[in-house]
């Protein structure tokens, strides 16, 4: 049976930094998708309207 190792302060800091990095990348990806959708919508609305 394995003994559970408790997380120390450094481990907690590392986990927090990693999760913040993942959250930032996720936000940037979502912003990129949103901007691309807005751009395409404007581009095609001009084509269909014109």
Residue 10 has what pLDDT?
93
Instruction: Give the residue ranges of DSSP H helices in the chain.
Output: 9-49
| Chain position carrying tokens 């930094």 | 17
First to last CA, the chain: 72
Q: Is the pLDDT of residue 41 over 90?
A: no
Q: For 4-24, what is each residue's pLDDT tens digit?
A: 678 899 999 999 999 999 999
């Amino acid at each position: 049976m394995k003994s559970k190792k408790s997380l120390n302060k450094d481990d907690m800091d590392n986990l927090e930094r990693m999760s913040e990095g993942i959250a930032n990348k996720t936000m940037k990806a979502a912003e990129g998708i949103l901007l691309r959708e807005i751009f395409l919508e404007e581009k095609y609305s001009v084509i269909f309207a014109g």
